[in-house]
């Protein structure tokens, strides 16, 4: 789950479907952000990594890093949530050129879905073909414990909105993208293999995205578990949808920061959530670094981004 906070509104879009911009306007904003970033980057990223709540220190693993505050990037949404720095960082991880989004904008902050997914669109425009997303989440599976790492194999969208609602820009992706494999099976298999070799316990699960910012009731946890979800959070799903729409491969990891068992539910302690995420961060960094080192080039089916 993500911690709550009151962010500064992005001008990228409003919330919901009201005031939808023309497709060309969205593309123009993406290109303006891309063009502002390119001269400041030492190289084009192959992949983008989104850091979730409490996972900001992951970026310290980069070498040859260049950091650009979100405030310096045209149209980038701001976030004021604890544990989200708000920096665009490019460097090398495992020898590969990577961009890190250190902090994400959340739907519950009042950002529209187009704004929430805008950074993913910019990553794609810069040439990234793979998105690796991380997030804090509540664990509902009876075998989950706080601190567990979970590779996401599928998701359920219960956020009440979708970043693809409104006019479609065919240059960004198809009107009706297929979601039969939102999380790349090849990358999931690689993550399993790496975890085994590194002796890292890695669980698998279905992620359910909810709007937040309140945490769930006992009845809601029972409902989400019955619906087939193993972990719950307030992010990931919009980013995954936008990435798939743009032709990117997606791999996602959730850190179980607290357990959400209806019959043993305790009040949430935000400080404890951040501490649990920070404790799990070294293992997650090692896992993602090894995955990036061995990550195969995408198949010919992934088109190059529009120049």
Q: Phi then psi for 202, rounded to 5 degrees?
A: -130, 115
In a domain, 1, yes or no: no
Which range among 3-7, 78-82, 265-269 has the greatest average pLDDT? 265-269
Q: Is residue 244 part of a domain?
A: yes
Does 307 score more than 80 pLDDT? no
In this predicted structure, the answer to whether residue 98 has a pLDDT above a threshold of 70 is yes
The answer to whether residue 12 scores a pLDDT higher than 50 is: no
Q: First-to-last CA distance in the chain?
A: 36
Residue numbers of the domain that contains 181: 23-294
CATH number of the domain residue 126 falls in: 3.40.50.1580
Share of residues in the chain with pLDDT > 90 (%): 77
pLDDT for position 2: 40
- The predicted pLDDT at position 108 comes to 93
- The reported pLDDT for the residue numbered 11 is 41
Tell which residue, 136, 140, 138, 81, has the closest CA to residue 111.
81
pLDDT (tens digit, 9 = 90+) per residue, 117-153? 999 999 999 999 999 999 999 999 999 999 999 999 9
Place of tokens 């997650």: 284
Closest CA to 59 of 31, 18, 101, 21: 101
Q: Is residue 307 part of a domain?
A: no
Q: Would you say 48 and 242 are in contact if contact means Cβ atoms under 8 Å apart?
A: no
pLDDT at 302: 52
| Predicted local distance difference test score (pLDDT) of residue 18 | 39
pLDDT at 209 over 70: yes
Is 7 within the bounds of a domain? no
pLDDT the model gives residue 13: 41
Distance CA 34, CA 28 (A): 10
Sign of the Cα torsion 53, 98, 132, 198 reads: negative
pLDDT band at 55 (very low <50, low <70, confident <90, very high): confident
d(CA 300, CA 130): 13
User: Please, are residues 149 and 283 in contact by the beta-carbon 8 Å criterion?
Assistant: yes
pLDDT tens, residue by residue, 17-36? 334 566 689 999 999 999 99
- Rounded CA-CA distance 237/209 in Å is 6
303 lies in some domain? no
Tell me the average pLDDT of the chain.
89
Tell me whether residue 95 is in a domain: yes
Number of domains in the chain: 1
Bin 130: left if φ > 0, else alpha if -120 < ψ < 50, else beta.
beta
pLDDT at position 20: 57
Pairing of strands 96-102, 87-93: antiparallel
What pLDDT score does 19 carry? 44
pTM of the model: 0.89
**pLDDT reading at 104 higher than 60:** yes
201-205 average pLDDT score: 98
Query: Does 301 map to a domain?
Result: no
In a domain, 42, yes or no: yes
Cα 44 to Cα 269: distance, rounded to the nearest angstrom: 39
**Over 70: is that where the pLDDT of 9 sits?**
no
């Amino acid at each position: 789950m993500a911690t709550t906070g009151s962010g500064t509104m992005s001008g990228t879009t409003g919330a919901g479907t009201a005031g939808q911009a023309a497709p060309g306007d969205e593309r123009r904003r993406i290109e303006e952000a891309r063009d502002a970033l390119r001269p400041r980057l030492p190289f084009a990223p192959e992949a983008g990594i989104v850091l979730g709540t409490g996972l900001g220190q992951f970026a310290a693993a980069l070498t040859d890093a260049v950091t650009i505050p979100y405030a310096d990037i045209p149209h980038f949404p701001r976030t004021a949530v604890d544990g989200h720095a708000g920096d665009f960082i490019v460097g090398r991880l495992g020898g590969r050129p990577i961009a890190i989004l250190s902090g994400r904008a959340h739907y519950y902050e009042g950002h529209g879905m187009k704004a929430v997914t805008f950074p993913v669109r910019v990553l794609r425009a810069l040439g990234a073909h793979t998105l690796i997303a991380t997030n804090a989440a509540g664990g509902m599976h009876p075998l989950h414990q706080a601190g567990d790492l979970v590779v996401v194999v599928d998701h359920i969208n219960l956020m009440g909105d979708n970043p693809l609602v409104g006019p479609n820009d065919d240059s960004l992706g198809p009107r009706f993208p297929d979601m039969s494999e939102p999380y790349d099976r090849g990358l999931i298999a690689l993550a399993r293999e790496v975890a085994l070799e590194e002796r890292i316990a890695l669980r698998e699960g279905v992620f359910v995205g909810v709007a937040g910012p309140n945490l769930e009731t006992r009845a809601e946890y029972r409902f989400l578990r019955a619906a087939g979800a193993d972990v719950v959070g307030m992010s990931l799903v919009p980013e995954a949808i936008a990435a798939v729409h743009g032709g990117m491969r997606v791999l996602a990891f959730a850190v179980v920061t607290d357990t959400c068992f209806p019959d043993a539910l305790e009040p949430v302690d935000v400080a404890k959530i951040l501490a649990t995420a920070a404790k799990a961060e070294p293992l997650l960094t090692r896992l993602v670094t090894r995955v990036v080192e061995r990550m195969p080039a995408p198949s010919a089916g992934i088109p190059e981004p529009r120049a």
